[in-house]
Amino acid sequence: MKLLHTSDWHIGRTLYGRKRYEEFEAFLAWLSDTIQRNEIDVLLVAGDIFDTTAPSNRAQELYYRFLWKVAASSCRHVIIVAGNHDSPSFLNAPRELLKALDVHVTGSASESLEDEVLVLRNEQDVPELIVCVVPYLRDKDIRVAEAGESVEDKERKLLVGIRNHYAAIAVLAERKRTELGVDIPIIATGHLFAAGGQTVEGDGVRDLYVGSLAHVSAGIFPASFNYLALGHLHVPQKVNGSETIRYSGSPLPMGFGEAKQQKSICQVEFHSIAASVQLVDVPVFQKLERIKGDWGSISARIRELSAAGSQAWLEVIYEGEEVIGDLRERLDIAITGTQMEILRVRNTPIIDRVLGKIHEEETLDDLSVNDVFERCLTVHEVPEDQRPELLRAYREALSSLYEDDMQAE
Q: Same structural domain for residues 141 and 234?
A: yes
Least confident of 5-14, 33-42, 205-214, 239-248: 205-214
Q: Residue 407 — very low, low, confident or very high, per pLDDT cuts 50/70/90? A: low
Query: Average of pLDDT values for 250-277?
Result: 93
DSSP designation for 72: T
The full 3-state SS of 28-52, as one line of letters, equals HHHHHHHHHHCCCCEEEEECCCECC
Q: Same structural domain for residues 343 and 376?
A: no
Edge-to-edge order in the sheet of strand 127-132: 117-121, 127-132, 186-191, 227-231, 242-247, 237-239
Task: Look at residues 63, 156, 145, 53 and name the one whose alpha carbon lies nearest to residue 108.
Answer: 53
Least confident of 4-18, 235-249, 389-403: 389-403
Percent of the chain with pLDDT over 90: 64
pLDDT in tens, 143-162: 766 666 676 777 778 888 89
pLDDT at 156: 78
Q: Same structural domain for residues 163 and 65?
A: yes
Task: Look at residues 207, 133, 197 and name the one whose alpha carbon lies nearest to residue 166.
Answer: 133
Chain centre to alpha carbon of residue 259 = 16
**What's the CATH number where 14 sits?**
3.60.21.10
Highest averaged pLDDT of the listed ranges 19-23, 194-198, 383-387: 19-23
DSSP one-letter string for 287-323: -EEEEEESHHHHHHHHHHHHHTT---EEEEEE--SS-
* Residue with the larger pLDDT of the pair 291 and 217: 291
Task: Look at residues 85, 144, 9, 80 and name the one whose alpha carbon lies nearest to residue 404.
Answer: 85
Task: Look at residues 257, 233, 222, 178 and name the one whose alpha carbon lies nearest to residue 47.
Answer: 233
Q: Same structural domain for residues 102 and 232?
A: yes
pLDDT at 354: 41
Query: Average of pLDDT values for 162-180?
Result: 94
Q: Same structural domain for residues 384 and 293?
A: no
Chain centre to alpha carbon of residue 246 = 13
Question: What does the mean pLDDT of the chain come to?
Answer: 87
Residue 42 has pLDDT above 80, yes or no: yes
Q: Residue 369 — very low, low, confident or very high, per pLDDT cuts 50/70/90? A: confident
Assessment of whether the complete model's pTM goes beyond 0.75: yes
pLDDT at 217: 79
pLDDT at 400: 62
Percent of the chain with pLDDT over 70: 86
The neighbour count for residue 2, using CB atoms within 10 Å, is 14
Residue 228 has pLDDT above 80, yes or no: yes
Domain extent for 402: 367-409
Q: Same structural domain for residues 46 and 125?
A: yes
pLDDT in tens, 126-138: 999 999 999 999 8
The neighbour count for residue 168, using CB atoms within 10 Å, is 14
Query: Average of pLDDT values for 62-79?
Result: 94
Residue 367 has pLDDT above 80, yes or no: no
In order of 67, 76, 162, the CA distances from 101 in angstroms are 8, 9, 31
In order of 162, 168, 228, 261, the CA distances from 220 in angstroms are 8, 12, 12, 29
pLDDT at 51: 94
User: Cα–Cα distance between 285 and 282 in angstroms, integer?
Assistant: 9
Q: Residue 301 — very low, low, confident or very high, per pLDDT cuts 50/70/90? A: very high
pLDDT at 219: 84
Q: Residue 362 — very low, low, confident or very high, per pLDDT cuts 50/70/90? A: low
* Count of structural domains within the chain: 3
The contacts found for 121-128 with CB under 8 angstroms, 24 or more apart, are: 122/41, 122/76, 123/76, 126/182, 127/180, 127/182, 127/184, 128/1, 128/41, 128/184
Give the residue from 281, 304, 329 where a domain finishes.
281
Residue 210 has pLDDT above 60, yes or no: no
> Could you tell me how many residues make up the chain?
409
Q: Same structural domain for residues 153 and 220?
A: yes
The full 3-state SS of 263-282, as one line of letters, equals CEEEEEEEECCEEEEEEEEC
Q: Same structural domain for residues 126 and 94?
A: yes
pLDDT at 370: 73
Give the residue from 281, 298, 323 where a domain finishes.
281
Residue 360 has pLDDT above 60, yes or no: no
Q: Same structural domain for residues 95 and 32?
A: yes
**What's the CATH number where 346 sits?**
3.30.160.720
Q: Same structural domain for residues 379 and 301?
A: no
Chain centre to alpha carbon of residue 277 = 20
Task: Look at residues 255, 275, 253, 256 and name the one whose alpha carbon lies nearest to residue 266.
Answer: 275
Helices (H), 17-142: 21-37, 57-71, 88-92, 95-99, 139-142
User: Cα–Cα distance between 215 and 158 in angstroms, integer?
Assistant: 11
Mapping DSSP to helix (H, G, I), strand (E, B) and coil, where does residue 342 land? strand
Is residue 118 within 8 A of residue 186, CB to CB? The reply is no
User: Cα–Cα distance between 284 and 291 in angstroms, integer?
Assistant: 18
Q: Residue 353 — very low, low, confident or very high, per pLDDT cuts 50/70/90? A: very low
Query: Average of pLDDT values for 202-225?
Result: 66
Q: Same structural domain for residues 143 and 229?
A: yes
Q: Same structural domain for residues 260 and 326?
A: no
In order of 8, 11, 195, 402, the CA distances from 154 in angstroms are 27, 32, 17, 17
